[in-house]
Structure 1
Amino acid sequence: MTARRSAEVGWRGRLHRMSALFVALLLATVAAVASGCGADATAPERIVIAGGVDGGVYARYAAALSQALTASLGRRVQVSVLSTAGSVDNLRRLAAGSATFAICAADAVADAMAGVRPVGAPATVRTDYRAVARLYDDYIHLVVKAESPIAGLADLRGRRVAVGGSTSGTAFVARRILTAAGLSGQAVESELGLSEGLDALDRGEVDAVFWSGGLPTGRVVDAAHTERLRLVPLGDVVSPLRAEYGTVYHQGRIPAETYAGVDGVDTVAFPDLLMTTSQTPDRIVRDVITALFAHPEVIGSVPTGQLLNRAEAIFTEPVPLHEAALDYFRREKIAGG
C-alpha cells in the first residue's frame, strides 16, 4: 500500500471513530434530557397539613397523618406539618393556599362557610371549604386548680381566664360559651394557648384555662401529673349554644381519670374534621383519605386516632364532602348513589 493510500485509510478510520463518538455523545445527551424530564414528571407531590398548638391533639394527629401518607406513597409525596394556633388559623391557611389540608373544629368551619372571612384571607378570595372526613369529637376543658373556688361558669365573673390564642378554635368557642352564660365582657380574658395558659395557671397569673381538644390531651395529662387540677362542668351551657348556633354542639363527658386524680364532668362537645378546599385535585384527596384508613397502627398511635371509623367519618354536616372523598365512601359502601 502506498504511503498516500495508507494515510487516506487512517484518516477515514479516525473520521469513522469521531463520528461514532459524536453519535454516542448525542445519544447520551438526549438520554440525560429525557431522564431530567422524567424526574420532573415524577417529582413528589407536596402536601402541607395545618395541625395545631404544640402538645395538642391536632398537632399529633397531623403528624400521624403525615406518617401514614409517607407509608402509603413513599417518595411520591413530600409532606410537611405546620404548627398553628388552631382551627381559625387553619382555615386562614387553607384560604390563603399555604396549607393543603387542615384539622378544624366543625363550629369554626360552619361559621366561615356562613360568610365570616378567616383572619388574613384576601377579601377578594371566596374559599369553598370541603371536608375529607370526620375524625373525632373535641371536648371543652375548663381547667382550674383543685383548691379553686370556681365551681361553675358563673364563678368566672371578674376572674382572669385564658381563652386560647387569638386565632384558635379554643378562643372561638370559649367566647361563645361565655356569651351563652351571660358573661361576655365579665371575665378578664387572656389570649394564651394551652401551654402558656397552664403555665400561667401554675404561677397564679390566671384563675382558669379554656381548652378545646380530644381526649386525652397530652399537655393536660402532663400538668395533672405535676399539680392537682380540677375540671369545671359545662353541661348546662349546651342547650343555649344549640339554640343559638345549631346542632354542631352536643353534650359530651370527660370521664373520671382521663387525667390523673381529676373527676369526670359533663361538657360541650363537637366534631373535628379533616378539611381541604374544592380546589384540591381529586387524586390528592383520594391519596389522603386512602392513607388515613389504610394505616390504623399509625393513626391509632394518637389516642383520638383510635376513634376513627369509616361508618361515622362520612358525617361532616354542615360541611359538604369533597367529591373525591364522597367517591371513596361510595366505593367503600358507606354512602349511597
Structure 2
Amino acid sequence: MKKILVMLMAFSVIFSGSIFAAKQTFVTIGTGGVTGVYYPVGGAIARLVNAKKAQYNIKATVESTGGSVYNINSVLSGDLEFGIAQADLTYQAYHGQGAWKDKGAQKKLAVVFGLHNEFVTLVASANSGINGIPDLKGKRVNLGGVGSGQLENSRDLLKAFGLKESDLKAEYIKPVESAGLIQDERLDAFFYTVGHPNGSVSEATSGRIKVKIVPITGTPVEKLIKELPYYSKGYIPVSLYPNAANAKDGKVPSIGIQALLVTSTDVPADVVYAITKEVVENIQEFKKLHPALGGLDIEDMVNVNVAPLHPGALKYFKEKGLKK
C-alpha cells in the first residue's frame, strides 16, 4: 500500500510539473539592427516582463530583424508574437496601403502601446554640397534597405520635393552599413529613420571624413505633414553628436514618426495585458534603459490612432482610467 501511495505522489508531482510547464508562454519581440534603437528597446521590454516570470509564466526573448515591415509581416504570420514598428507602416498595413496594397487591409494587426519618437535623419559628408533634400540630385545616397521603414520615408520626402529615385545614384542597403561607406567616400549621404542618440550616426560623424546632419524643412515638408498626419515636426539635438560638422549648440529640424509595439489579435489578451501592465507601471525604470525613451510619457503610450489597440492592452488602459 505504501508503495502505491509513493507512486501516486510521484505521479502527482510529475503531472503537476508538466501542467506548470505547459502554462509557460514564450514570446519573441522582433526589433531591428543591433546598433539601432529597436533592439535595446525590445530588450528593455523583455527585461521588465521576465522580472515577473514567476507571476505571469511569460518568457520574453528579443530577435534582431530587418525592421518595421519584417516585424509587421512576421507578427501577422505568427512567426513573431510582438514587433516594434513605425507608426506610418503600421497605418499602411492596417489599411492595406503601401507594401500591403496587394494583400489588402491587415485587420489582425493591433497596437500594444506607443514608444519613442523617431526622426528621419539625413546624414551627409560635409564636402558633398548637400544642405537640403534638393541637393541630393545626382548624389550617391542610401535610401534604405528593401522593406525598411526608412526606404518608405525617404521616398515620401523625395516625392514631396519633386525628385525621383532615378535623379539620384540610389543605394538600397541597411543603414548600419552606411556609416562605413560614407567614411570610405563611397556614399555622399544616407537616410536613417531612428531614435537618437544612435550608434550608426555616431560612427558616421566620428570618422576621418567630416559628416553633418542635414535639415529636413521647407514648404514641401509642411505639405507632407498635412497629407500624411503620422508625420510630425521635430528636432535632432546636435549635442548628441559632438563630432558632427554642425553648430554645436544647434537643433536640426526634421520630421518624426512614433515607434510602436505591435502584435496580432491572435495573441492572447492575458499575455498582452501582462506586458502592457509591466511596462506602464515601471515606466520610470523603462525610460532609463535607453536615452531614446527619455521623453516618453504614458500619454504617448496610450494615444495611438493608426490602428486599434489590442483588447489586452485596452483592458489595462481602461482599468487605469487611461482610456474610455
**Normalising to structure 2: TM-score of the pair?**
0.89
Moved more, 107-116 or 294-303: 294-303
**What residue in structure 2 maps to residue 249 of structure 1?**
231
Moved more, 191-200 or 288-297: 288-297
Counterparts in 2 of 1:109 and 1:232: CA distance versus 1, 3 Å: same
Q: Which runs of 5+ in 1 are unaligned?
A: 1-18
Residue among 251, 263, 278 paired with 1:291: 278
Q: How far does residue 86 in structure 1 lie from its aligned partner after superposition? A: 1.2
Q: How far does residue 36 in structure 1 lie from its aligned partner after superposition? A: 4.2
**Normalising to structure 1: TM-score of the pair?**
0.86
Residue among 279, 288, 293 paired with 1:305: 293
The secondary structure found in structure 2 opposite 1:200 is helix
Equivalent runs, 1:115-264 vs 2, <5 Å: 115-116=96-97, 126-184=106-164, 185-227=166-208, 228-236=210-218, 237-244=220-227, 246-262=228-244, 263=246, 264=251
**Letter aligned with residue 216 of structure 1:** P
**What residue in structure 2 maps to residue 12 of structure 1?**
none
Counterparts in 2 of 1:258 and 1:40: CA distance versus 1, 3 Å: closer
Query: What is the aligned-residue identity percentage?
Result: 26
Moved more, 153-162 or 293-302: 293-302
RMSD of aligned residue pairs (Cα, Å): 2.3
Check the 8 A contact 1:65/1:299 in 2, yes or no: no
Residue among 22, 28, 44 paired with 1:48: 28
Q: How far does residue 83 in structure 1 lie from its aligned partner after superposition? A: 0.9
Q: How far does residue 153 in structure 1 lie from its aligned partner after superposition? A: 0.9
Check the 8 A contact 1:67/1:298 in 2, yes or no: no
Q: How far does residue 208 in structure 1 lie from its aligned partner after superposition? A: 0.4
Check the 8 A contact 1:66/1:79 in 2, yes or no: yes
How far does the alpha carbon of each residue in 1:103-124 deviate from its partner, in whole angstroms, 9 at most, with x for none?
11111111112213757x9959
Q: How far does residue 269 in structure 1 lie from its aligned partner after superposition? A: 0.9
Q: Does 1:98 align with 2:98?
A: no
Q: d(CA) in 2 for partners of 1:122 and 1:112?
A: 11
Q: Does 1:270 align with 2:257?
A: yes
Tell which structure's C-alpha radius of gyration is larger. Answer: 1
Q: d(CA) in 2 for partners of 1:316 and 1:334?
A: 12
**Letter aligned with residue 146 of structure 1:** A
Q: d(CA) in 2 for partners of 1:151 and 1:250?
A: 21
**Letter aligned with residue 276 of structure 2:** I
Counterparts in 2 of 1:125 and 1:133: CA distance versus 1, 3 Å: closer
How far does the alpha carbon of each residue in 1:244-290 deviate from its partner, in whole angstroms, 9 at most, with x for none?
3x211111111231211433311111211111122221101111111
The secondary structure found in structure 1 opposite 2:93 is helix
**What residue in structure 2 maps to residue 327 of structure 1?**
315
Check the 8 A contact 1:61/1:299 in 2, yes or no: no
**What residue in structure 2 maps to residue 316 of structure 1?**
304
**What residue in structure 2 maps to residue 14 of structure 1?**
none
The secondary structure found in structure 2 opposite 1:220 is helix
Q: How far does residue 333 in structure 1 lie from its aligned partner after superposition? A: 2.1
The secondary structure found in structure 2 opposite 1:226 is coil
